[in-house]
Amino acid sequence: MRILIVLCAIVVLFSCNREHKNTKVSGTVFGTSYSIIYDSDENFQKEFDSLFNIINKSMSTYIFDSDISKLNRNESFEIDEHFIRVYDASKEIFGQTEGAFDPTIGNVVNAWKFGAENTIEIVDSLKIDSLMQFVGFDKTYRHNNTIRKSNPNVYLEFNAIAKGYGVDVIGEFLENQNITDYLVEIGGEIRVKGLNAEKQSKWKVGVEEPNFEGGKSILKAITLKDEAMATSGTYRKFKIDDKGNRYAHIIDTETGYPSKTNLLSISVIADNCMTADAYATAFKSMGVDKVKAFLKIHSELKVFLIFENENKEFEALALNGFPES
């Protein structure tokens, strides 16, 4: 009996002293990279890939037979549970931002060809006007698992929210596996829970410093706990007019024309990444003053803005308790 007790004590001591290792999984999805770190010995790579495939089959405009592609071609109006969750959240944020967030603006954005960083060209006003007839998320509505459009030319895409939603789906999967310590990151959008078990510390994430030359550097590191953060920048894709004014890939959802902005980076912390992702996009077109006014009645959102002042110098503004470190 004494030998058994001693052996048990040794096992317990060894278990307590063993080096704690997180499982780390990475890859590519949604046209970007992802990284998932969690406190478990089990590798869920296959499950993650399966979930990503399901989301793509639902909402990727790059997949010919996805639900959203069929909807945009008016071939089918049926949608799955993932589409429903993203659609309903988009409808809510569309209303809250008075249309600054609008998933029907995609065709107009594409018309301006913001893929390359060069001088802005004059786009045919007749073309913009013709496309703007079909912009407005209120031109769509959901009935159970079907979407209806007021006009067959209304085009939907969820690029500004689906990445954040994908982060949430992975986080929810891990929680369903009783994993309480994790970090999920897809293309810079992040959701964390609990602690970094390997380091026995809170999760630290970085806020990137704007760089028009394409370089990457961290402006500040902050601590997150049981929340999500998304960042939207205007300094990577932009065009310049003949007067030197810089126009980011932000289209005014009322006019269909690019909006000049001094906002360079918007980081939003929210309860879930889908919400953070959508608001980070919406705030780009609202400007500093409108964002400040909006946040006075939306205390649930923590926001960090980086913008250019009148002297072309960078300034930063933390709102609603965005963490200093």
From 235-249, 263-277, 292-306, the region with the lowest mean pLDDT: 235-249
CA 319 to CA 302: how far, in whole Å?
6
Mean pLDDT for 204-232 is 83
Question: What is the DSSP code string of 108-152?
Answer: HHHHTTTTS-SB--PPPHHHHHHHHTT--GGGEEEETTEEEESST
- With bands split at pLDDT 50, 70 and 90, how would you rate the model's confidence at 248? low
Q: List the chain domain ranges.
A: 23-319
**pLDDT confidence of 1, banded at 50, 70, 90?**
very low
For position 238, what pLDDT does the model report? 59
Please check the confidence at residue 14 and state whether its pLDDT lies above 90: no
What confidence tier does 263 reach under pLDDT thresholds 50, 70, 90? confident
Q: Above 50 in pLDDT, residue 161? A: yes
Residue type, 118: N
Q: How far apart are CA 309 and CA 312, in angstroms?
A: 5
When pLDDT is cut at 50, 70 and 90, the band that residue 247 belongs to is: low
Task: Estimate to the nearest angstrom the gap between the alpha carbon of 210 and the chain centroid.
Answer: 18
The confidence score (pLDDT) of residue 7 equals 39
Percentage of the chain modeled with pLDDT above 70: 84
Amino acid at 157: E
52 CB burial (10 A radius; 0-12, 13-18, 19+): buried
Element containing residue 292 per DSSP (H, E): helix 273-296
For residue 238, give the nearest of 265, 208, 276 by alpha carbon: 265
pLDDT over 60 (residue 9): no
Beta bridge partners of 32: 29
Give me 165's structure tokens.
């939603």
Q: Is pLDDT of 213 > 90?
A: no
pLDDT at 117: 42
Residue 22's closest CA among 193, 188, 164?
A: 193
| Beta strand pairing call for 23-29 and 302-308 | unpaired
Contact 233, 221 (CB under 8 A): no
The tens digit of pLDDT for each residue in 21-71 reads: 899 999 999 999 999 999 999 999 999 999 999 999 999 999 999 999 999
**β-pair partners for 206:** 221
Q: Is the pLDDT of residue 8 over 60?
A: no
Residue 175: is its pLDDT beyond 80? yes
* Distances in whole angstroms, Cα of residue 105 to Cα of each of 112, 137, 187, 257: 11, 9, 22, 11
**Contact by Cβ (8 Å): 132, 317:** no
| Tens-digit pLDDT profile for residues 300-322 | 999 999 998 888 788 999 999 99
Q: How confident is the model at residue 240 (pLDDT cuts 50, 70, 90)?
A: low
Q: How far apart are CA 144 and CA 156, in angstroms?
A: 18
The verdict on pTM exceeding 0.75 is yes
pLDDT at 278: 97
Residue 209, classified by CB atoms within 10 Å of its CB into exposed (0-12), middle (13-18) or buried (19+), is middle
| CA–CA dist 6, 294 (Å, integer) | 64
Tens digits of residue pLDDT in 91-128: 999 999 999 999 999 888 888 776 444 445 567 789 89
| Helix/strand/coil for 36 | strand
Q: Does domain 23-319 have CATH number 3.40.800.10?
A: no
Whether pLDDT at 220 is above 80: yes
Q: Are 55 and 86 in contact, with CB atoms under 8 Å apart?
A: no
